[in-house]
Amino acid sequence: MKRTLFTCLAAGILFSLSSMAQEKIQRVEPLSWWTGMKTELQLLVNGPSIGEADVTIEGAPGVWVKAVHKADSPNYLFVDVEVEKTAKPGTYTLVFQRGAETIRYPYQIKAREEGSADRTSFTTADLIYLIVPDRFADGDPSIDSTEDTAEKANRSQPNGRHGGDIQGIIDHLDYIADLGATAIWSTPLLGDNARRGSYHGYACSDYYHIDPRYGTNDLYRKLVQKAHSKGVKIIMDVVTNHSSTDHWWMKDMPFKDWVHMNDPYVNSNHNMGLAMDPNASKADKAIMEEGWFVGSMPDMNLDNPYMLKYFQQWAVWWIEFSGLDGFRVDTWFYNEKVPMSQWAKAVTDEYPNFNIVGENWSANPDFVAYWQTGNPNNDGFDSHLPSIMDFPLQAAISQALQAPIGAAEGNGSRGRRGGSDISAVYNALSHDFIYHDLSHMLIFLSNHDIARIGDTFGHDPRRMKIAYTLLATLRGIPQLFYGDEMMLVTGNPRRDDGRLRMDFPGGWKGDPVNLFTEKGRAQAAKADTTYAHAKELHDYARTLFNWRKGKEVIHSGKTLHFIPENNTYGYFRYNDNDVVFVFINNSEKECTVPWTRFSEMTADLKDGLNIVTGEKVQVSDNTLVPAYSTLVIEYKR
């Protein structure tokens, strides 16, 4: 009894001391650390007048303070901590001495998981499924709105919060895996406390905590673990270029140059070419790098070494804490390019196999290729960014398959002006010579910033199937935007962010349509003609993407293609053991396959397997291909 009472009293004293410390010290970031890390630890400490304090560390040997750096604000300290190789995991105590006052703050150094540094990442063997979490599924309605966040849920508003969350993703991991996806990229889940439009997450207000309307840090880690148990990787979307005017540090920044403060306000000129243009003026470059993305998103100053270190550490922290498999980095080329290359190098030095893909939005292959690590740039610059997004190919596929205005295709909806010519895809791929590493290029049909492809393609399921075929068989790492597997549409072929980032039907209790289930997809057309082709398209996409998972010839094989004729296009993916023949008829008329024309690859090909129907076939010059359709035939050599 005495022993129990003593234990309770001791625990109460420790809790009291911890609470007192947290009143004096409001933040210590990173939140924790690990033994055996290459990344050096520098703590950001925030608290009233904490800059006046001296700092030491108590605990087991091997963890000690190397240096203390004051900031411009007296309410910050940056503390360099040495964690020696021999250091033991445990809870250490940060001791802040300020005159006669002593503040004690517990800090945990954990044991690193075995094999953490050697973790694998996403590759060409994966299909990435892109989710906007607020619009995917509401697994926990109790957190749709919270007291500590400004914007409350309002599902009736296209640009409002709708209530989707991490639990909703966990609840539908089986759907994602069944589709053939092996990785999930979710748009940002970190805190975004903007008063309006916070659902998109790209204005971060807290880099170390999941937004409470999505869940908690521990729930995010659970998502990663659950996904891994189903063979699905998790990619975190992060933003290094800008934060939010609602970020906690904007009320009192550590340094005057923590963000780029422009008076009067200066918006970025958004000109990607300035980063590599040898003739560009310094003034234009400065506006590109230092101008704000928009008025509510302060531009971070990565030239400040403390800011850069802070960003490097939270990236490493999230990987180690949650078990992440990759990063997608928003607005890569807006960052100061040299510090940003140092950010990427810090991450990949800690995790050599870790893949990072950067958003470099341009339809110009030169501008995109520049940003991939190892590219032989004339200025000698190396981004240390492993993967790039193939925006030129995405634009080409959109151009090739867009429905002309007035076209009576699909359900008769009107598309965008212009002809649809498959030559656009051929022309995009003919620029492959300019890219340093084709295996580290993310290919995609659309994403959260691009009009729904169902709208672009005139609500035509035939064009959708052509798009799936391209995504499943071309070189690179494929990414599919949620709902595109069933041609979700807005009715507007132009970009409309709040509406194109729509709720997934069935993700909310009471939804009249549930596209997450076989039964729901079969019944969908009866409830709403918008979903007339949902089951057909889903099944087609699922067949292709599940077939792709085990095909090394698609993951790493070479490409041979032939100049399109009459809006038809033939290409081959091949290696020493296998050949996959893809033929696309993007025309309004039935055609035959020009098999003899492809003889440099087809001469020795006999019996093949149609991977969509599962039937054995022999392709010849007499093989008929209906209008707006494809053939995908697999051969063994």
Give the C-alpha separation, 550 to 555, whole Å.
9
> Which helix or strand (DSSP H or E) is residue 226 part of?
helix 217-229
Buried b (16+ CB within 10 A) or exposed e, 31-54: eebbbebebebbbbbbbeebbebe
Sign, CA dihedral 565-568-573-576, equals negative
- Which residue, among 464, 504, 507, 470, has the nearest Cα to 487 in the 3D structure? 464
Q: Do the Cβ atoms of 65 and 56 come closer than 8 Å?
A: yes
Give the C-alpha separation, 448 to 361, whole Å.
13
Place of tokens 């963000």: 259
Beta bridge partners of 328: 237, 357
Identity of the residue numbered 539: D
Task: State the maximum Cα–Cα separation within the chain, in Å, rounded to a whole number.
Answer: 93
Quote the tokens at residue 125: 């063997």
Is residue 330 part of the annotated active site? The answer reads yes
- Which residue, among 47, 34, 44, has the nearest Cα to 83 in the 3D structure? 34
Give the C-alpha separation, 500 to 483, whole Å.
10
Sign, CA dihedral 252-256-258-263, equals positive
HEC per residue, 36-75: CCCCCEEEEEECCCHHHCEEEEECCCCEEEEEEEECCCCC
Rg (CA), the chain: 27
HEC per residue, 99-149: CCEEEEEEEEEECCCCCHHHCCCCCCCCCEEEECHHHCCCCCHHHCCCCCC
Q: Which of 126, 211, 336, 359 is catalytic?
A: 359
Q: Do the Cβ atoms of 60 and 92 come closer than 8 Å?
A: yes
- Which residue, among 144, 127, 126, has the nearest Cα to 135 in the 3D structure? 144
- Which residue, among 341, 327, 299, has the nearest Cα to 187 in the 3D structure? 327
Q: Which of 330, 421, 455, 485 is catalytic?
A: 330
Q: Do the Cβ atoms of 449 and 391 come closer than 8 Å?
A: no
Give the C-alpha separation, 283 to 289, whole Å.
10
Give the C-alpha separation, 629 to 464, whole Å.
10
Is residue 539 part of the annotated active site? The answer reads no
Give the C-alpha separation, 184 to 227, whole Å.
9
Give the C-alpha separation, 581 to 540, whole Å.
18
Quote the tokens at residue 567: 């809006």
Q: Which residues are catalytic?
A: 330, 359
